[in-house]
Each structure stands twice: as C-alpha cells, then as structure tokens.
Amino acid sequence: MSGIIIGLFLVIAIFGVPLAFALGIAGFAGLVIADLPLRILAQRAMFSVNSFPLMAIPFFMLAGELMVSGGIIGRLIDFANILIGRVRGGLAQVTVGAGMGMASVSGAAIADATALTSVLYRPVAKQYNGPFAAAVIAASANLGPILPPSTAMIIYATLAPGVSVRSLFMAGVIPGLMIGVLMMLTIAIIAHRRGLPLTGDRLTLVRLVRGFWTALPVLLLPVIVIGGIVGGMFTATEGGAIAVVYSLVVGLFVTRTLKLADLPGCLLRSAITTAIIGVIIAFAATITYLFTIDLLPQRLADFALAFTDSRVIFLVFMMGALMIVGMFLEPNAAYVMLVPVLAPLASEFGVDPLHFAILFVLNMVVGLLTPPVGTLLFVVSAMTEVRIGELVRELLPFIGIQYGVMLACLFLPPLALWLPGMLS
C-alpha cells in the first residue's frame, strides 16, 4: 500500500497539481485502499498543524518581513558588505555565517530558512542570482537542527531511551562546524569560477565604525533573541514572538522607516507563506498515518535483519535506507515512526546508541533538502519564487557536502562522539 501511495503522489505532483493537493489526493486514495474513513484526512490535517512549536514559522517569518519593510535589514547587509564585500562571493559567505549564527539560537531548519530568506534573499539574489542565493540560504538553514539547540535531537532523545539530549547536542557540534566550513570553501571556489562580482568598497576604519553604529540596533536583535533563549528568558517559539516585537519597535522608533500602514501587508505576507507550508504538513500527515498503519517501519526492519548480521554492513544499509526515507518523508514523521523501531535494532547490531542517533538525525536533516519531498525546498521555493528544479541544481554541491560529512561520521565515529565523551 505504501508504495502505491508514493507512486500516486509523484504522478499527481508531476502533472502540476500543487504539492499540498497532491499529498491530499494521494492520502484520500490511500484511505480508500486501506478501507478507512475519508474523514481521517480532515482530522489529521487539523491536528498536525495544531502545534505550538510550529508557530515559530509565522513568527520568524513576520520578524523578517518587518525587518525588510522597516529597511533595517539593509543596514545589516551594508555592514556585512563593508566587512567582506571585497571577498568574491562575500555576501554568500555572510549567509553561511548568518546560518551558523541562527543555528546556535534556533532548533529548527524551517524557522531558520524563513528568517534567512526574508532577510538575505533579496540582497544576495540581486548581487549574484536567485537560484544560487536560494540554495545557499536553504543549505545554511539546514545547520539549524545540526548545531545545538535542536528540536530534532530533542525529539530523537525522547524516543530513544539511552540517548541524552545534551550528549546528542554535543555530538552535532563538530559535524555542524565541518559542514559550515566546507560550504564556505565551496562558495569560494564557485565564486572564483563564476567570477561573482565584488560588492563592497575598500575597508577603512571610518567606514567600519560608521557601519557598525548604523547596524547596531539590528546586530542587537540576535543578541537579545539568542541571549533570551540561551539565558532562559523564553522558549524558542516565544523567541520568535519577541523577535517580532523587537523588529517592530526598532522599525517604528529607531530607524523610523517602518510605518503603521506597512503592518497589514507584512502580517498578510507572512500568513500566506505560513499557510502554504502549514497545508503541506497538514496533508502529509495522512500519508504518514497510512505508512504507520501499513507497518512500513517494521517491514523495513525485518527486511534489514534478513540480510546481514554485520554491524558495518547494517549501518551502511541503514544509512542508504534512511537516505531514501529522508527523500520521501517529513523528518518529524520519520522520527516518530522509525526511531522506536530502528534504535533498538541498531543496539542489537552493537551500534553505539549515540552514534546511531547522530547519523539518523544528520540523514533526516539532509532529507529536508532532497526532492521529491523536501520541506526546506518547499519553504525556500515558496518564499523566493525560485523553481524547485533550479534550486535543487544549485543545491547539489551543498547536499553532497552534508552527505559527505554524514558518511565521515559513519566511518570515523570520533567526529561525533569525541566531544560528548569529553564533556560527560
């Protein structure tokens, strides 16, 4: 049954039916095949978006809209440009840096992607080109769930007894930094090859100080939001709401470029983008439900056990299977369905639970960028109006890097396990 549903979804989607609707139609068909009531589609749709953490999406999106409309984001870009505009592809490097910064505040790739896109897409796309800008943003946003804090890791640890949230957080640090650095190197090579334009004037102390002063209110935003979350003032979702209030205050009273008349437009744009993402999550929920009822995870596990009892072969096979899962499933669905089945199975094969956990999470996180079902692809494509095909083409080197780091962690466990071992 699971296979038929996937096939049907792909066929419908290729005809140009919006993805949310294609998911919904495939879901309806699956319910008919499974002889289940059709109303489940409605039920799953509502309950899957009835979630507090998901509200980080509209909040960070709105904060970004306000920053753009308030002209305050221009100040940040100007400042970054002063700093590394004399490096080829400098603005793309700024994006990776911003992604790593965001990742250290937020736990979710989608929230990071919306924030980075609303803040950086227009300037980066203007300097280079749309698909490249969108790809760098999507790949940088993917650091969100790899560098701590990470919602995905919290979910994983609660599903797998024997894996602590803190150790898993620490296990993500080195792989996350590796991905960041490799992305910067790749961008430098691409910038050199394509001869991307220089975007800044020569750096002088006066320019630096003036730029810093102008950008200060904007630079304080991450300090307040990051500081507030790390310091325990508020949760990550609440941090999104605080970012909105801060951008509003700065835009209205500090830069004074934001007008009350701009607010409805900002609220509306962020609401519509939220809806497009929310509805995809809503209709994917029925498909996940059908996979669960169809016992897909258990059948995968049986399949694996029939093949081998070697630890390494098992791990390699698992990573291959999870790569495919990551292509088709929304990660939260995959965690909920697969962790309870596969984590004990991995232990049976003698795999360190923490090692398996980080590999699993990395795999699902890269899956956010891989077609046909890649939540980050949908989000960034919806916000930037860059087509998914073009986005994927520019993303290929970055997807390669992220899978590469995952494989490095597979064969060199200390990359992931050394830091948590040191700190425990």
Q: Could you say whether residue 317 binds other proteins (CB under 8 A)?
A: no
Residues 6+ positions from 163 with CB-CB distance below 8 Å: 156, 157, 343, 353, 354, 357
Closer of 69 and 104 to Na ion (Cβ): 104
CB of 136 to other proteins, least distance (A): 18
Closer of 151 and 402 to other proteins (Cβ): 151
Among the listed residues 136, 374, 394, 402, the single contact to Na ion using CB under 5 A = 374
Q: Which tokens is 349 given?
A: 């094969």
**Is the Cβ–Cβ distance between 159 and 178 less than 8 Å?**
no
CB of 148 to other proteins, least distance (A): 10
Closer of 91 and 334 to Na ion (Cβ): 334
CB atoms within 10 A of CB 37: 10
SS (H, E, C) 257-308: CCCHHHHHHHHHHHHHHHHHHHHHHHHHHHHHHHHHHCCHHHHHHHHHHHHC
Within 304-333, the residues that bind Na ion by CB under 5 A are 327
**Is the Cβ–Cβ distance between 125 and 95 less than 8 Å?**
no
Taking CB within 5 to 8 Å according to partner kind, which of other proteins, Na ion, none is near residue 36? other proteins
Among the listed residues 126, 166, 194, 393, the single contact to other proteins using CB under 8 A = 166
Closer of 147 and 315 to Na ion (Cβ): 147
Among the listed residues 195, 205, 206, 231, the single contact to other proteins using CB under 8 A = 231
Q: Which stretch binds Na ion (CB under 5 A): 118-126, 130-138, 263-271, 360-368?
A: 360-368
DSSP secondary structure letter of residue 254? I
Within 319-358, the residues that bind other proteins by CB under 8 A are 336-337, 340
Distance CA 107, CA 169 (A): 10
**Binding track over 74-93 against Na ion, x by CB under 5 A:** --------------------
Distance CA 76, CA 78 (A): 5
* Relative orientation angle of helices 331-348 and 353-367, to the nearest 10 degrees: 150
Nearest in space to 34 (alpha carbons), one of 229, 287, 225: 287
Distance CA 254, CA 217 (A): 8
Within 27-86, the residues that bind other proteins by CB under 8 A are 28, 36-55, 58-59, 62
Within 259-288, the residues that bind other proteins by CB under 8 A are 263-264, 267-268, 270-272, 274-276, 278-280, 282, 285
Distance CA 110, CA 85 (A): 28
Q: Which tokens is 404 given?
A: 């590469």
Taking CB within 5 to 8 Å according to partner kind, which of Na ion, other proteins, none is near residue 58? other proteins
Within 138-157, the residues that bind Na ion by CB under 5 A are 144, 147, 150
Taking CB within 5 to 8 Å according to partner kind, which of other proteins, Na ion, none is near residue 134? none
Q: Could you say whether residue 107 binds other proteins (CB under 8 A)?
A: yes
Q: Could you say whether residue 198 binds other proteins (CB under 8 A)?
A: no
Taking CB within 5 to 8 Å according to partner kind, which of other proteins, Na ion, none is near residue 46? other proteins
Radius of gyration (Cα) for the chain, nearest Å?
22
* C-alpha distance across the termini of the chain, in Å: 45
Q: Which tokens is 52 given?
A: 């507090």
Within 371-410, the residues that bind other proteins by CB under 8 A are 378, 381-382, 384-389
Residue reference for tokens 């006066």: 206
Q: Which stretch binds other proteins (CB under 8 A): 110-118, 226-234, 345-353, 355-363?
A: 226-234
CB of 284 to Na ion, least distance (A): 11
**Binding track over 129-158 against other proteins, x by CB under 8 A:** --------------------x-x--x--xx
CB of 90 to other proteins, least distance (A): 27
Among the listed residues 186, 237, 363, 370, the single contact to other proteins using CB under 8 A = 237
Nearest in space to 65 (alpha carbons), one of 133, 110, 137, 118: 118
Rounded to a whole number, what is the largest CA-CA distance in the chain?
Answer: 72
Q: Could you say whether residue 225 binds Na ion (CB under 5 A)?
A: no
Q: Could you say whether residue 164 binds other proteins (CB under 8 A)?
A: yes
In a 3-state reduction of DSSP, which class is residue 56? Answer: helix
Taking CB within 5 to 8 Å according to partner kind, which of other proteins, Na ion, none is near residue 147? Na ion
CB of 262 to other proteins, least distance (A): 12
In a 3-state reduction of DSSP, which class is residue 15? Answer: coil
**Is the Cβ–Cβ distance between 85 and 77 less than 8 Å?**
no
Task: Say if residue 222 is exposed, middle or buried (CB neighbours under 10 Å; 0-12, 13-18, 19+).
Answer: middle
Closer of 153 and 248 to Na ion (Cβ): 153
- Binding residues for Na ion, per CB under 5 A? 103, 107, 144, 147, 150, 327, 367, 370, 373-374
